[in-house]
Amino acid sequence: MSQPPICIAALYRFTPFANPAAIRTPLLDACQGLGIKGTLLLAREGINGTIAGSDEAITAIIAHIRALPGCDALEWKLSRAETMPFNRMKVRLKREIVTMGQPDIDPLAGVGRYVSAMDWNALIADPDTILIDTRNDYEVAVGTFKGAIDPDIQSFREFPDWFRARRAELEAEGRTPKIAMFCTGGIRCEKSTAFALSEGVQDVYHLKGGILKYLEEVPEAESLWEGECFVFDQRVTVRHGLEPGAYDLCHACRRPVSGEDKNSALYVEGVQCPACATERTDTQRARYAARQQQEDLARARGTHHVGGND
């Protein structure tokens, strides 16, 4: 059986870019010339993003990115899709490629010990290991590792304060933390484990390649993962083997939407879901409804609405 035609690359590299703005236009031109779509973030601390295209295009753009200063050791993971999961190509300049709000944290100066996907089960099955999911609340709600602590944060910026409070609780109990952290593709843990080390916690580990690598390599029969994994493209979630999951996306708040959510009286396609029904103004909902109407009309004509979501 032939494999799906679209190649998806999730990639990142922490490396000092003296002038990210000088990199932006040549990188965008290269992606557009190859027919690649998705989003790449550039900052002084490096590059991060997810892009999709043909096998040949992804091979070419990875070679282009690896030729950038300090990017030879670029981390990337590949998966596949039947259709293009993005609508356009964007290269954005940011203050951080993953926003933690801790400007003194430098993953290049030291991070936790990497643990491969095949060795992860043994680490987190150890009763002395404290397992922490570093992702946001809506991501954790879709799926997580058995026994993982959910920080219940809405933004990665909240993680440092949560970690400090949790560490104080553990030390009050007389426990010296042995901490294992994980995230979607590994990039957030580069910062979260570097932060833990900066706080004086030495016994820190993280899942190399993140949840995506685990779901790719670990057989489902041996897996300690429960649920699906949220991804930041139109697949919304993936299962073991990186097969597409069962969730859709709320285009108002960008949270995952389950079948149960869509049966709620609070769900209006393209306008709101149960999670964000009370978070938006009437003006915003009217704008979302107009956008959804345009997308419905474009779909009925068999065309693509350029203002659509990606």
Question: Catalytic site residues?
Answer: 183
Question: On the CB side of 261, how many CA atoms lie within 13 Å of its CA?
Answer: 19
CB 125 within 8 A of CB 46: no
Name which of 178, 293, 184 is nearest 231 in CA terms. Answer: 184
Other Cβ atoms closer than 10 A to 87: 16
Distance between CA atoms of 254 and 138, rounded to whole angstroms? 10
**CA-to-CA separations, 55 to 1, 2, 91, 240, in angstroms, rounded:** 17, 14, 20, 22
Token pair 């997580």 is found at 144
**CA-to-CA separations, 258 to 71, 195, 264, in angstroms, rounded:** 38, 34, 10
Name which of 282, 306, 285 is nearest 294 in CA terms. Answer: 306
Distance between CA atoms of 289 and 276, rounded to whole angstroms? 14
Distance between CA atoms of 19 and 1, rounded to whole angstroms? 46
DSSP 121: H
Distance between CA atoms of 189 and 206, rounded to whole angstroms? 6
Structure tokens, 193:
């484990």
Structure tokens, 302:
């068999």
Distance between CA atoms of 45 and 141, rounded to whole angstroms? 30
Which alpha helices (H) appear in 42-102, and where do they start and end? Answer: 55-66
Give the β-pairing of 256-257 and 37-43: unpaired
